[in-house]
Amino acid sequence: MKDLSNKADEKKQEFLKMFELLKSEKDLRKLEILFKSFLKDLYSELKFFDLNEKKTNGKIINDFKNAMQLEFSSAYEKFGLESETRRHDPSIIRSGIKFGSVHPLIKLYKKMEKIFLNMGFSVVQGPEIELDCYNFEKLNMPPHHPARDMQDTFYISSPEVLLRSHTSCVQIRTMESIKPPFQIISPGTVYRVDDIDPQHTPMFYQVEGLVISENASFANLKSILIKLLREIFGREIGVRFRPSYYPYTEPSAAIDMSCIKCDGQGCQTCSGAGWITVLGSGMVHYKVLREAGIDSERYIGFAFGLGLNRLALLYYDLNEIRKIYENDVSIWRQL
Amino acid sequence: MFKFSLDWVRGLLGEESSLNSILDILCLQGFEVKTVEEINGDQVITIEVKANRPDILSHIGVAREITSFKEFADVSVFDISSYYEFDNTKPNNSEFPVSVKIEEGTCERFSAIMIEGIDNHAKTPNFIKKRLEIFGVNSINAIVDISNYVMLEMGQPTHIYDLDKISNGEIFVQKAKKEEVFLTLTGKSFEVKVGDITIRDNLGVICMAGIIGSQRVEVDEDSKKIMIESAVFEKTAVRVASKRSKISTPASFRFERGVNAKASLDAARILAKKIVETCGGKICGIFDYKCKGLFKENKIRIRVPRVNLVLGTYLIKSEITKYIAKYGFVCCNDSGDALEVLAPHFRLDIDSEIDVIEEVARGFGYNRIEPTNLLADTAYRKNEVYSALDTIRNIMVGVGADEVITYSFIQSNAMEVLGILPKDKAYGDVFLQNPISSSYSLMRPTLVVSLLQTLSYNYSMGNYDLILFELGRTYVRDQNYDTGYKETDVLGVIISGNKINKGWGIKDDLKFDFYDLNDLINIIYNEFGQDFSVLPGEFLFLNNEKSALFSSICHGFEINVEGKYSGFFGEINKKIFSEIVPNVKLIKDDIFYCEIFIESIKENKKQLKFESKFPLILRMYNLNCPKDVSASRITDVIKNSADFVRNIKIKDVYGSEEKDNHALLFEVSYRLSSRTLTTKEIEDTEHIFLDKLNKELGVSVKL
């Protein structure tokens, strides 16, 4: 039977002598390279043996390897080093692996969506190019209703086809297509005529919600919106509901949040009021339910909506709303 | 918006409420305070008055609302009759010296008072002048000033005619039957359209109802005989004419929203009294037209359980009565679980149970309603599109791409510049009728323009080497949709610059290229377990492609899923785009673009398959191959040569531009599930496919 033990032993003696002659860490590293290449040679010889021989010789090589590694460890110790030492500098950032970024509006929306999904809401969407009847008429805003002034609308072909000025149209479409009870949010882009300047854009992202059931109440509406705002802006913020008016809800409420910049003390952001209006909401008007074919005596609903862009300014502490659509991605990457 | 004077309101309230307490009350009652300015020692407060509460567009209205908020409030003090003293003489239409003929449907009420022998040289009382000044209303003459004052106090717009200037003592209130033009008080011409409500005499229009009067019958300092008009016109007609003519006056603003017709005659009487006090003269006739049912009581039934169901409260009947009494509601019938209440005459917005429930909530206080958890048994509906968008967004961020959101409207001439014709796939002609400018005018049929703009903007900001993506919508005409337009959710990706920068042992920058884009499309469809095929494109804004896949030259490629056009990709033709995106010249590297329609994406269930335990054998083949033979054909030949061919990867493509051939380096893996493959088996297979490749495709092993 062929045997590698002599070869290994010889080499071992040779190496041990060399250990005694080591003068520096550099010598040690050189020796380690020699050892590794010899070890590789030994292993490569294995393939010429038959199975039995492989077993015996494999053990010989391993023993040799273990013995030598012990010697190396103690030699390293002698030079005050751990074995296998590397020279890495973590203060160097190569940026070789790239990770992308999500648009800040979407990032904030996703945070919000998660809260709603956990509360049992479903996400629905609908067209941005809408019919007047879905954007206004079925929302209790017949032609010439003064409330239409609040939403300066883009038209594709007037008076019938327009760019939706809110996502409430999706709620109407949902009410017409599925049976209550349901809880939905309808996120999406909406449009209102506005020039592009630091504080205005002709397009923004809106998130609206709608709950229709036999027992949905104003008290439930309050509970959901308080939860939403506190989840996003923190447990400690104040939330205030005050009467407001939308043609499609009654009673209607505007929801104010204590100013997060000044903690309600009054500052530029909140125009000294200490409060910032962030949401509109209310109990769905019975005329809207009826228009959508829902029995307004049996079912009650509430709805709410918010403009994500303004909320994003607050959330990220930005000062220019138009920057949201400029997309300087080096800024997005800060998130 | 309504501006009011704090002193004026305090005067009406008869007490010195502090500014802050008044602001708080208004805010919590639903009237957002916009500004507070100090003018001439008074505070002028601007509040937002929503369309449902026109009764607040007056100082009395504001005073009423403030009173309501106080404990033990009594708003009846603001009943005009108890607030003012005035001559209560009954109107007598037949004895009215002017003949007034009113067409039905033009107004709810038309009250008029005639005064003779006045002297309009008289000075406007000082306190009136001062108060008007605060609102920036110029003093014109005593009569006009007093009528403006009454409107600000009571909310009833009035108009005054110089009767000596009216032809033949006849006045008609009617819808215009033909188009005509008249000169308004401000000296501008007004174009009357058919159907507009006008007040006229025999000579023509003397007033656009509820908007503005004519110069011809204007009251001046020499006026002796006047007629006060205190009317409530049909609001839609006023709104339509005001919008169309772009003339909005304090009167039209109020009429559009609604004016309390029940108080119109009293307002005329109060105005007449004030005019006579200042200018002398004598009332010589009162006219009053009322539409049917004007003074019908506004009684509404409310159910106590319904109130509590809607609000989520536990209020009892007496509490409900108490809260709405603050706003002037009177309970007139009490039976079982229901109440019948009488709404105050000045509230034009109350006509159903829910309107009263809102008042209960306001009276109780929105903040006192206790939040409770919703218990609704609603089914969750998965949104396939949103879930696909989420998956794609995760992939994109994972490969290092940055998400952008751009405007949905692009330059009006985009299609012409990019050479996209109506027959082409990326064509769109959905234009806004009222765009903010021609640069934001066409609803985009593709995201390519927006993304290229964003890419070049980022280059100008010093952000290079980018993969940008947008999950946005495109818009085209399509009669299959109820709106007449089809909107498609799409993924747009634009790539340019270096994939790997030189350094760290790499000698040259490695650029993003076509194959990175192609990889990305494959990654996305693979994630959803979908196959797609590629067809030649005709997108003139993409560069020419002489692809081995197709016999002729094409412009970019189409993505096809299950026989349906599902997107496109290729290399941007910078020359064509430079006209519409001038900054594109900043980008020296090639730019690649792809667009994938989300509707083509359907999540297929994928299954895991564990490989056999027998070893995988890898072999490399360097093949010399004519450039017009596509790699997919070679792959097919290899794949079909034996069952145990597992995987085929193309590890490299190289060769010079000029030559007709290039080299493809293939890595093929072989494995059987039942045993280890022998070298001979593999060599036999190699022979089969190499032979076939040579004979059929002219592909040979490179030596």
- Please report the ipTM that was assigned to this predicted complex: 0.87
Residues of chain A contacting B433 with CB distance shorter than 8 Å: 154-158
Fold held by B299-368: Phenylalanyl-tRNA Synthetase; Chain B, domain 1 (3.30.56)
Tell me how far CA of residue B619 lies from CA of B68, B647, B650, in angstroms: 90, 11, 12
- pLDDT(A295) > 90: yes
In sign, the C-alpha dihedral spanning B393, B395, B398, B402 is negative
User: How many CB pairs lie under 8 A apart between chains A and B?
Assistant: 244
Distance from the B227 Cα atom to the nearest Cα atom in chain A, whole angstroms: 30
- Which phi and psi (to 5°) does residue B574 adopt? -65, -35
Tell me if A244 and B50 make a contact (CB, 8 A cut-off).
Answer: yes
Amino acid A2: pLDDT: 67
Q: Let me know if B650 is exposed, middle or buried by CB neighbors in 10 A (0-12, 13-18, 19+).
A: middle
CA nearest B298: which of B252, B253, B359, B363?
Answer: B359
Nearest by CB to B397, from A99, A131, A241: name it: A99
Determine the Cα–Cα distance for residues A262 and B211; give it in Å rounded to an integer.
45
Determine the Cα–Cα distance for residues A260 and A264; give it in Å rounded to an integer.
7
Write b or e for each residue in A228-259: b if 16 or more Cβ atoms lie within 10 A of its Cβ, otherwise e: bbbbbbeeebebbbbbbbbbbbbbbbbbbbbb
Amino acid A69: pLDDT: 86
CA nearest B466: which of A107, A110, A333, A326?
Answer: A333
Using an 8 Å Cβ cutoff, are B10 and B17 in contact?
yes
Number of residues that this document lists for chain B: 703
Around Cβ A201, how many Cβ atoms within 10 Å? 20
Report the chain A residue with the minimal C-alpha distance to residue B350.
A250
Determine the Cα–Cα distance for residues B253 and B58; give it in Å rounded to an integer.
12
Determine the Cα–Cα distance for residues B273 and B84; give it in Å rounded to an integer.
10
- Considering just the CA atoms, what is the radius of gyration of chain A in Å? 36
Distance from the B400 Cα atom to the nearest Cα atom in chain A, whole angstroms: 4
Amino acid at A69: Q
Tell me if A327 and B355 make a contact (CB, 8 A cut-off).
Answer: no
The tokens describing B703, both together, are: 């030596």
Mutate which of A174, A195, A228, A242 to disrupt the B interface (most B C-beta within 10 Å)?
A: A242
Nearest by CB to B361, from A218, A277, A324: name it: A218
Number of residues that this document lists for chain A: 335
Tell me how far CA of residue B512 lies from CA of A170, B398, B438, in angstroms: 41, 16, 34
Amino acid at B386: Y
Mutate which of A115, A245, A276 to disrupt the B interface (most B C-beta within 10 Å)?
A: A245
CA nearest B522: which of B402, B399, B609, B608?
Answer: B399
Q: What is the pTM assigned to this prediction? A: 0.86
Tell me if A156 and B377 make a contact (CB, 8 A cut-off).
Answer: no
Per CATH, the homologous superfamily of domain A104-334 is Bira Bifunctional Protein; Domain 2 (3.30.930.10)
Write b or e for each residue in B597-634: b if 16 or more Cβ atoms lie within 10 A of its Cβ, otherwise e: bbebbeeeeeeeeeeeeeeebeeebebebeeebebeeb
Around Cβ B698, how many Cβ atoms within 10 Å? 13
Amino acid A223: pLDDT: 95
Using an 8 Å Cβ cutoff, are B668 and B636 in contact?
no
Three-state DSSP class for residue A201 = coil
Q: Given this chain, do its domains B2-78 and B299-368 carry the same CATH topology?
A: yes
Fold held by B2-78: Phenylalanyl-tRNA Synthetase; Chain B, domain 1 (3.30.56)
**Half-sphere exposure (CA, 13 Å, Cβ side) for B146?**
23
Chosen CATH of B93-290 out of 3.50.40.10, 3.40.50.300, 3.30.1330.10, 3.30.1300.10: 3.50.40.10
Per CATH, the homologous superfamily of domain B617-701 is Ferrodoxin-fold anticodon-binding domain (3.30.70.380)
Nearest by CB to B405, from A105, A122, A193: name it: A105
Strand B430-431 to strand B442-443: parallel, antiparallel, or no bridges (unpaired)? antiparallel
The tokens describing B35, both together, are: 């500004």
Residue A211 at interface with chain B, using a CB cutoff of 8 Å: yes
Compute mean pLDDT per 10 residues along chain B, 703 residues long, and list them: 90 83 88 90 91 91 85 61 74 90 92 92 90 88 92 93 89 93 91 93 92 92 92 92 91 93 91 92 92 87 95 94 89 88 91 95 93 84 90 96 97 94 94 94 97 96 95 96 95 96 91 95 95 94 90 93 96 94 91 96 87 87 92 93 92 89 94 89 93 93 82
DSSP B77-145: GG-HHHH-----PPP-TTT-SSEEEE-TTSEEEEEEEEEES--TTSPPPHHHHHHHHHTTPPP--HHHH
Angle, alpha carbons B175-B180-B184 (nearest 5°): 90
Using an 8 Å Cβ cutoff, are B555 and B539 in contact?
yes
Nearest by CB to A242, from B28, B408, B462: name it: B28
Q: Hey, which residues does B227 pair with through a beta bridge? A: B114, B161
Phi-psi region of B505 (alpha: psi -120 to 50; beta: other; left: phi over 0): left
Strand (E) or helix (H) holding B500? strand B498-500
Distance from the A16 Cα atom to the nearest Cα atom in chain B, whole angstroms: 37
Q: What is the DSSP letter of B697?
A: I
Residue A133 at interface with chain B, using a CB cutoff of 8 Å: no
Q: Please give the span between the terminal C-alpha atoms of chain A, in angstroms, as a whole number.
A: 68
The tokens describing B332, both together, are: 């007139």
In sign, the C-alpha dihedral spanning B56, B61, B66, B70 is negative
Three-state DSSP class for residue B471 = strand
Using an 8 Å Cβ cutoff, are A257 and A231 in contact?
no
pLDDT band at A134 (very low <50, low <70, confident <90, very high): very high
Tell me if B402 and A332 make a contact (CB, 8 A cut-off).
Answer: yes
Nearest by CB to B29, from A243, A247, A250: name it: A243
Three-state DSSP class for residue A59 = helix
- Which phi and psi (to 5°) does residue B88 adopt? -95, 20
Nearest by CB to A245, from B52, B382, B386: name it: B52
Determine the Cα–Cα distance for residues B396 and B458; give it in Å rounded to an integer.
18
Residue A193 at interface with chain B, using a CB cutoff of 8 Å: yes
Domain ranges of chain A: 5-86, 104-334
Q: For A5-10, what is the mean pLDDT?
A: 83
Determine the Cα–Cα distance for residues A200 and A290; give it in Å rounded to an integer.
36
Tell me if B372 and A220 make a contact (CB, 8 A cut-off).
Answer: yes
* Angle separating helix axes A218-233 and A104-118, nearest 10 degrees: 130
Q: For residues B692 and A45, which has the higher predicted lDDT (pLDDT)?
A: B692
Tell me if B311 and A328 make a contact (CB, 8 A cut-off).
Answer: no
Q: What is the pLDDT of residues B506-547, one digit of tens each?
A: 899 999 999 999 999 999 999 999 999 999 999 999 999 988
Determine the Cα–Cα distance for residues B590 and B462; give it in Å rounded to an integer.
17
Tell me if A254 and B30 make a contact (CB, 8 A cut-off).
Answer: yes
Strand A203-213 to strand A300-307: parallel, antiparallel, or no bridges (unpaired)? antiparallel
Amino acid B18: pLDDT: 87
Q: What is the pLDDT of residues B428-458, one digit of tens each?
A: 999 999 999 999 999 999 999 999 999 999 9
- Which phi and psi (to 5°) does residue B701 adopt? -75, 130
Residue A42, C-beta contacts closer than 8 angstroms, at least 6 positions apart: A4, A7, A8, A61, A64
Domain ranges of chain B: 2-78, 93-290, 299-368, 384-600, 617-701
Residues of chain B contacting A218 with CB distance shorter than 8 Å: 310-312, 361, 369
Percent of chain A residues topping a pLDDT of 70: 98
Considering the domain delimited by B384-600, tell me its CATH architecture: 2-Layer Sandwich (3.30)
Using an 8 Å Cβ cutoff, are B6 and B59 in contact?
no
Mutate which of A141, A213, A327 to disrupt the B interface (most B C-beta within 10 Å)?
A: A327
Three-state DSSP class for residue A273 = coil
Amino acid at B522: N
Residue A120 at interface with chain B, using a CB cutoff of 8 Å: yes
Tell me if A220 and B401 make a contact (CB, 8 A cut-off).
Answer: no
Tell me if B367 and A240 make a contact (CB, 8 A cut-off).
Answer: yes
Provide the CA B458 distance to its chain's centre, in angstroms: 29
Mapped to the 3 state alphabet, what secondary structure does B399-452 carry?
A: CCCEECCCCCEECCCHHHHHCCCCCCCCCCCEECCCCCCHHHCEECCCCHHHHH
Distance from the A241 Cα atom to the nearest Cα atom in chain B, whole angstroms: 6
